[in-house]
Amino acid sequence: MITPRKDVGEFLPPALEAKFPGGVLEVLRSRGELYLRIASASLLDVCLYLRDEERWGFDFLALVSGVDWLGKEPRFEVVYHLRSLRNNLRVGLKVDVPDETVALPSVSGIWKTADWLEREVFDLFGIRFTDHPDLRRIMMPDDWEGHPYRKDYPLEGRG
């Protein structure tokens, strides 16, 4: 029998704020899930801590998704869905993508699953991941122009 997952909303944000001052920009809840908006400069340090700290043990990166907020600044956001299989915990990390670079550091050195997940976000949204070992298209053909999940992508596709 699987026990219900634990809610870390009371404990995780203060622990991160103490360890990384200014690294947690916002604590959010959506549909009963905990999300933390993380400063892009703190992303790698926060992710390493969440994976390696025994009480958290976020050993599995379940999903990386892109969000296009066309008309807002910053325009793009990347959401990381983390799971601790050992401790039965989950948390989402939201990171704003700087408009000037449209890039974030790759977490593929922390979680191997990020390799393909980041490639998908790159291919469909055009968000780059610096230091990614093999950042290239994964869904669209190599000669495809543009990124079809961007809100300004033509609805008719390429003509």
Q: Calculate mean pLDDT across residues 4-14.
A: 84
**What are the two backbone dihedrals, phi and then psi, of residue 52, each rounded to the nearest 5 degrees?**
-90, -25
Given pLDDT bands bounded at 50, 70 and 90, which one contains residue 28? very high
The helix/strand/coil state of 153 is coil
76-96 pLDDT per residue, tens:
999 999 999 999 999 999 999
Residue 1 has pLDDT above 70, yes or no: no
Q: Has residue 72 got a pLDDT over 90?
A: yes
| Contacts with 46 (C-beta within 8 Å, 6 or more apart), sequence order | 16, 20, 23, 24, 38, 93
Cα distances (Å, whole numbers) of residue 25 to 3, 40, 112, 118: 31, 10, 26, 23
pLDDT at residue 159, rounded to an integer: 58
pLDDT given at position 7: 83
pLDDT at 110 over 80: yes
4 pLDDT tier (thresholds 50, 70, 90): low
Structural domains in the chain, CATH included, are: 12-102 (3.30.460.80)
Question: What is the average pLDDT score of the chain?
Answer: 94
Residue 15 has pLDDT above 50, yes or no: yes
What mean pLDDT comes out for the span 128-148?
95
pTM of the model: 0.93
Per residue, the 3-state secondary structure of 133-147, as one string, reads CCCCCCCCCCCCCCC
Predicted pLDDT at 158: 59
Query: Is the separation of the CB atoms in 95 and 38 below 8 Å?
Result: yes
pLDDT at 157: 59
User: CA 92, CA 46: separation in Å to the nearest integer?
Assistant: 12
Contact 112, 105 (CB under 8 A): no
